[in-house]
Amino acid sequence: MTDAELISELEGLVSEDRNPRSMEIDLFPTVEVLRSINEEDKGVPSAVEKVIPQIAEAVDDIVRAFRKGARLVYIGAGTSGRLGVLDASECPPTFSVPEGMVVGLIAGGTEALMHAIEGAEDDPDQGRQALADIGLTADDVVVGIAVSGRTPYVIGALTYAKTLGARTVALSCNPNSAIAAIADIAISPVVGPEILTGSTRLKSGTAQKLILNMLTTASMIRIGKTYQNLMVDLHASNRKLVARAARIVMQATGCSPDEAREVLDLTENDVKLAILIQLTGMDVGSARTALEGAGGFLRKAISGKTA
In angstroms, the CA 123 to CA 259 distance is 58
Residue 15 DSSP label: G
Of the listed 121, 194, 262, 292, which one is catalytic? 121
* Phi, then psi, of 142 in degrees rounded to 5: -110, 125
Whether 121 sits among the annotated catalytic residues: the reply is yes
Residue 226 DSSP label: E
Of the listed 9, 57, 90, 259, which one is catalytic? 90
Query: Listing from the earlier edge strand, what are the strands of the sheet with 141-145?
Result: 102-106, 72-76, 141-145, 167-171, 185-187
Q: Number of helices (H) and strands (E), helices first, in the chain?
A: 14, 7
Whether 24 sits among the annotated catalytic residues: the reply is no
In angstroms, the CA 65 to CA 257 distance is 38
In angstroms, the CA 169 to CA 29 distance is 41
Question: Strand 167-171 vs strand 185-187: parallel, antiparallel, or unpaired?
Answer: parallel
Collect all residues with Cβ–Cβ distance below 8 Å to 301 and sequence separation of at least 6: 276, 287, 290, 291, 293, 294
Give the residue numbers annotated as catalytic, written as ranges.
90, 121
